Chain A
Amino acid sequence: AQSVSQHNHHVILSEAASLELGCNYSYGGTVNLFWYVQYPGQHLQLLLKYFSGDPLVKGIKGFEAEFIKSKFSFNLRKPSVQWSDTAEYFCAVNAPMDTGRRALTFGSGTRLQVQP
């Protein structure tokens, strides 16, 4: 079974600071990796996804993530955060090619608070 760890539960940054949110997963096979964001009062939205190819993935709103297979990691980064990035961020994984299961396994989330 897969599991996802997000070690940073609550991060507080000032505007223009750089962001890196950690995500580690436990499955050793072929995985698809996702970062979802939930802005206050809104539903989950996809930021970016990785399934193959270039391990550096670029998403919306200036976010990017790097898949490092040897470290089982998929950390989310943004060089300069804005107040509007205040939200909860969830890392998720599935492995349908290996397991046939399409269900996503989510981490517990990281709450990002950006101070103006």
Chain B
Amino acid sequence: GAGVSQTPSNKVTEKGKYVELRCDPISGHTALYWYRQSLGQGPEFLIYFQGTGAADDSGLPNDRFFAVRPEGSVSTLKIQRTERGDSAVYLCASSSIPGQGPNEQFFGPGTRLTVL
């Protein structure tokens, strides 16, 4: 597609439930990032994929959070046993990787997760 797409746009769930959030990056982009944005804050990094593998997962807050990218394109962020504090907008971004140079990250519209 022309841009990064994310589904669903909104997700309301109950505390303790499991949720999956999907990201479809720009075609051909090998790098994919997940960020989380809480109200009044800037995005905070969660995890970065280069191809199929997680190159940096240092931002995942705990083991309830997990992400996969099995074919190096679409990625799914999975949250187990959701807590009210997980409520936020989850952003996905993708970029191409020109060696170690700077890379522009293109962001999707986000998934607004509300945990009741």
Q: Interface on A for B, CB 8 Å cutoff?
A: 4, 6, 32, 34, 36, 42-46, 49, 51, 90, 92, 96-97, 101-109
**A43 and B109: CB pair below 8 A?**
yes
Q: Give the nearest-CB partner of A101 in chain B.
A: B56
Given contacts A43-B110, A49-B102, A51-B101, contact A107 B42 (CB under 8 A): yes
Q: Which of B41, B42, B44, B107 contacts A43 (CB 8 A)?
A: B107
| A42: min CB distance to chain B, Å | 8
Given contacts A102-B31, A103-B59, contact A43 B108 (CB under 8 A): yes
Interface size class of B (residues with CB under 8 A): 20 to 34
CB-CB under 8 A from A46, the residues of chain B are 104-106
**B108 and A108: CB pair below 8 A?**
no
| B25: min CB distance to chain A, Å | 13
Q: List 22 A-B contacts (CB under 8 A).
A: A42-B109, A43-B91, A45-B107, A46-B104, A49-B102, A49-B104, A92-B42, A96-B102, A97-B100, A101-B58, A102-B31, A102-B33, A102-B95, A103-B48, A103-B59, A104-B33, A104-B45, A106-B42, A107-B42, A108-B40, A108-B41, A108-B42
Q: Give the nearest-CB partner of A103 in chain B.
A: B45
CB-CB under 8 A from B100, the residues of chain A are 96-97
For the complex, give the distance between the alpha carbons of A4 and B42 in Å: 10
